[in-house]
Structure 1
């Protein structure tokens, strides 16, 4: 694994987290209806979580624990990606393809986070 890999993962998490605040409506739309409370609350909570994970992965002292948590987070948001794919199945082909392409991309994200955790120094 590249020495830059943890920082790239942190950057991805930070960008995704910031997007939850910059354009929350698109995230509100993919919050599963079965979750209690408002979709906007879940959008903001997941944005905060991604920003916190980004900070944790960026710092060597907390990298291992944060990367494990990021792997769990990527698993946890999978139902939102499934909802998006189902909701977008009647959209134009490029949007539909993008929505369905997100589904298998979760696995590499989980494996990437686990790899960062496995190679992290320290005890956190």
Structure 2
């Protein structure tokens, strides 16, 4: 297995656990028009754990990769919302503002790795 796919899988699983253990930061970044924020966060956390596990096993890697691409695309608006909120927050530290904005382009390489997993 490629190391980049394994790293993405572990990152997905860890992020999923955080969604379930400490959901508040994730609930706060769900785009404002969406209802059922807590349920969306819990569901995406469970999905991240499942998809991360799927990418670790050859039999399920392709489906896990495809699902990961879809999930990364689906949560991108929440990451944009977080960046907007943090940049507007006068109390937020400059390094935190920069980090939330600079992490947005990191989704592209994550999607690229998930696509590699989807190809098997």
Scaled by the length of structure 2, what TM-score is found? 0.91
Residue equivalent to 1:97: 98
Is contact 1:56–1:62 with CA below 8 Å preserved after alignment?
A: yes
Is contact 2:68–2:111 with CA below 8 Å preserved after alignment?
A: yes
Q: 1:53 aligns with which of 48, 51, 54?
A: 51
- Paired with 1:31 and 1:62, the residues of 2 have a C-alpha distance of 29
RMSD value, Cα = 1.2
Is contact 1:5–1:116 with CA below 8 Å preserved after alignment?
A: no
Q: Which runs of 5+ in 2 are unaligned?
A: none
Residue equivalent to 2:28: 29
Residue equivalent to 1:81: 79
Pairwise CA distance, 1:48: 0.6
Moved over 3 A (4+): none
Pairwise CA distance, 1:31: 0.6
Equivalenced residues, count? 117
Question: What do the CA deviations read for 1:65-95 (whole angstroms, capped 9, x no partner)?
Answer: 1101101111110000000000000322111
Residue equivalent to 1:65: 63
